[in-house]
Amino acid sequence: MKVVTLRSPGGLDQLELVERGAPGEPGPGEIRVRIHASSLNFHDYGVVSGKMPTEDGRIPMSDGAGVVEAVGEGVDEFAVGDAVVSTFFPYWLDGPARVGDFRTTPGDGVDGYAREQVIRPATWFTHAPKGYRHEEAATLTTAGLTAWRALVVDGNLKAGDTVLTLGTGGVSIFALQFAKAMGARVISTSSSDAKIERLQQLGADHTINYKAEPEWGKKVKALTDGKGVDHVIEVGGPGTLPQSIDGVRIGGHISLIGVLTGRGGEIPTAKLMAKQARLQGLIVGSRIHQQEMVCGLEASGIRPIIDSTFPLEEIADAFRHEEAGRHFGKICLSF
């Protein structure tokens, strides 16, 4: 089977396509999955670029979607032919967050899904939404579930709420789609007028070009009659958090998801305190969260926005496309 490995110390030129033997038959409680697709995330880029060091020879990619080829003894949740999608934290099945690192995350602490076949415990996967293509399902493991947890699990989103999304990456676009499907109003930002037009087509009620409006937090307040938004999908980190605090309502909710602007910086803590807002960090979600999201996707009919798809052997080019920052939505691998 085809497998992509990453040579230490990392870097896109250190990705190598190799041939390995088939994994064999699953043991008790395991399934063998023919992987057909993966999707690129900022975390995956951190690993393959060498910014988040991992073991020499690591198989990258945290997202994997495909078809069950064989089931081991005692597995009754899946049958041969079922379409499945991987989970980000394989051992966090339910309950409150209990994982604070990536030691168990496929493609980082353990081998991931840049390969054609894999044998894993059945609990490392969930069913994919009915009718989804494998590329669509592969976008759910990281980006889809992060947005779902931020708004639905942690944010208790309800109809009539207002949501602020930043940029046009996978998490932000999923958040826009979830929010609109649940009857919320959405304000979205981007630095590209062309991308702003696409955000409007997806249903964004208001859009802001953050380069033209560097103090976009004030604009957000103006668009909400001076109140501020109920929820912020904060993917930027320290460079954008002060504006997000400006734009959130008193008692609102900020989901701190990304660090695209860096890992440290000055935060206006007095203003956050005065806002009495809840600033909550999160990393993806549990298996039960993913199962609930799949039910929500099937009920709402939401389909992921896919920017482009690359074959497995062009994985480095796929990451170069992500690196360029011109994409809108998810970049996928199909194999």
Query: Do residues 7 and 136 both lie within one domain?
Result: yes
In this structure, the answer to whether residues 191 and 215 fall within a common structural domain is yes
Tokens of 164: 């602020």
pLDDT digits (tens, 9 = 90+) for 232-270: 999 988 889 999 999 999 999 999 997 665 666 677 889
Q: How many Cβ atoms sit within 10 Å of the Cβ of residue 110? A: 18
Tell me what pLDDT residue 258 has.
73
Write down the pLDDT at residue 44: 97
Q: Is the confidence at residue 71, as pLDDT, over 70?
A: yes
pLDDT at 261: 56
Same domain for 105 and 11?
yes
Boundary residue ending a domain (241, 266, 281): 281
pLDDT in tens, 131-148: 999 999 999 999 999 999
pLDDT in tens, 17-46: 999 999 999 999 999 999 999 999 999 999
Q: What is the CATH number of the domain that holds 157?
A: 3.40.50.720
Q: Quick one: 151 and 200 in the same domain?
A: yes
Is residue 7 located within the same domain as residue 115? yes
What secondary structure does DSSP assign to 114-165, as a single string? Answer: -BSEEEEEGGGEEEPPTT--HHHHHTIIIIIHHHHIIIIITT---TT-EEEE
Q: What is the pLDDT of residue 260?
A: 61
pLDDT tens digit sequence for 1-14: 999 999 999 999 99
Looking at the fold, whether 131 and 150 belong to one and the same domain comes out as no
Average pLDDT of the residues in 289-306: 98
Domain end point (choices 237, 254, 281):
281
What confidence category does residue 75 fall into, taking pLDDT thresholds of 50, 70 and 90? Answer: very high
Are residues 165 and 137 part of one domain? no
Number of structural domains found in the chain: 2
Residues 268, 163 within the same domain: yes
- pLDDT above 90 as % of the chain: 94
Q: Which of 161, 174, 114, 155 is nearest to 297 (CA)?
A: 174
The model's pLDDT over 136-195, given as tens digits with 9 standing for 90+, comes to 999 999 999 999 999 999 999 999 999 999 999 999 999 999 999 999 999 999 999 999
Same domain, 159 and 277: yes
* Domain around 49: 2-141+285-334
Q: Rounded distance, CA 236 to CA 241, Å? A: 7
The enclosing domain of 99 has a CATH number of 3.90.180.10
Q: Are residues 166 and 222 in the same domain?
A: yes
Residues 264-281 have a mean pLDDT of 88
| pLDDT recorded at residue 263 | 65
Is residue 131 domain-shared with residue 230, that is, in the same domain? no
Residue 295: pLDDT band (50, 70, 90) is: very high
Rounded to an integer, what distance in angstroms lies between the CA atom of residue 132 and that of residue 80?
A: 17
Both 10 and 27 in one domain: the answer is yes
Question: Which of 237, 257, 281 is the endpoint of a domain?
Answer: 281
Q: Give residue 75's identity as a one-letter amino acid code.
A: V
Give the separation between CA 257 and CA 237, rounded to whole angstroms. Answer: 8
